[in-house]
Amino acid sequence: MKSMKMLMSVAVTALALGLSVPAFARQDQASVLDQKVSKLFDSGKYIAALPLARQALAMREKATDEAKLGNSLNNLAALEYNLGHYAVAEPLYKRALAIAEKLAGPDDEGVARLLNNLGELYRVQERFADAEPMLKRSVAIRDKNNPDDESIAPALSNLGAVYSNLGRYDLAEPLFKRSLAVLEKARGPDDPELSVVLSNLSDTYINQKRYDQAEPLLKRSLRLAEKLGPDNASVAQALNNLAAVYLYQGRHDDAEPLLKRSVTVFEKSLGPMSPELVEALDNLVGLYKDKGRYADAAPIAKRAAAIRAKAAGQKI
């Protein structure tokens, strides 16, 4: 069997938390849009949120409040990132980070959040040398300010993901476990936010062929992710990774419906051009080829190739 493409889950900080924005008595139109964007983001409806976030940023660009501008930059960057538009997201995050450092100083919580987001952006592009110092600095700020606060969990998980991508599972596993412990203490064992870290920890086990330890984590991850809604991207990630465990164990009949559902959910949540969708399609192709079902594999492989070609031509 060909190796499966594991989808390392992403721990992105919540929208509207990128900067410490001062309270104000009357909300302007851009702030109302920011709230709508945040709700759509939390529901995994990134495509629907995108035009609203762009509109809010355009309004902020014309105003004089740098803190609110930085917040809108972070919100739009997070959406572009989740839709796979990495080249668009990077300068937005960099601008937001520069504003945060200017207004609040290098050790502010808002700076730590943006360092995490930018570091994770680099990680998914396999720019690990760029990602590691960003994420280490984010963790260091949180360790200095409040090491037990749940805000440290995303950077711990994303730094663990860097090491997992580099095959340094000895470094990744304790970071994932610490992230999980922090979140469980803060939110309880059944909070949907745990889904991301459970999936990431399972990835380290899968890559070490510790399948019996990975399976229950992924089943729990899927159960928690589904609390966010059946079409959330975290659901698709958990489905894909649980299918990978089954395939490594030779359980093709168990894996196939999970992969099919993963493809459907990725397309609904992230759109028809997302890298995650392509990888899930590749995994379904691999399953069919393993079973000798080449007629089923061919159109899916053709679809994945077409998405790649279109993405390369757009240079998003």
Q: Which residue has the tokens 């159960």?
A: 223
CA Rg, the chain, in Å?
19
The pair phi, psi for residue 7, each rounded to 5°, is -105, 100
Distance of alpha carbon 223 from alpha carbon 257, whole angstroms: 16
Quote the tokens at residue 42.
Answer: 């939390």
Q: Please list the pLDDT of the chain residue by residue as tens digits (316 residues).
A: 344 455 444 443 333 333 333 444 346 899 899 889 988 988 888 899 999 999 999 999 998 899 999 999 999 999 999 888 999 999 999 999 999 999 999 999 999 999 999 999 999 999 999 999 999 999 999 999 988 899 999 999 999 999 999 999 999 999 999 999 999 999 999 999 899 899 899 989 998 999 999 999 999 999 999 998 899 888 998 999 899 999 999 999 999 999 999 999 999 988 898 888 999 999 999 999 999 999 999 999 999 999 999 887 754 3
For the chain, give every domain's residue range.
30-85, 210-316
What is the sign, positive or negative, of the torsion defined by CA atoms of 42, 118, 18, 29? negative
Classify domain 210-316 at the CATH topology level: 1.25.40
Q: Residue type at 270?
A: L
Count other Cβ atoms within 10 Å, centred on residue 30: 22
Please tell me the distance from the alpha carbon of residue 268 to that of residue 58, in angstroms, as a whole number. Answer: 27
Dihedral sign from CA coordinates of 176, 181, 182, 188: positive
pLDDT value of residue 314: 59
- Angle subtended at Cα 222 by Cα 185 and Cα 275, rounded to the nearest 5 degrees: 110
Cβ of 147: how many Cβ atoms within 10 Å?
A: 11
Dihedral sign of CA atoms 26, 28, 29, 31 in order: negative
* Burial status of residue 260 (CB atoms within 10 A of its CB: 0-12, 13-18, 19 or more): middle
Q: In one letter, which amino acid is 112?
A: A
CA dihedral 190, 196, 198, 199 (to 10 degrees): 140
Is the full-model pTM beyond 0.85?
Answer: no
Rounded to whole angstroms, how far apart are CA atoms 180 and 132? 20
pLDDT for the residue 1 = 37
Question: CA-based angle 111:115:117, to the nearest 5?
Answer: 120
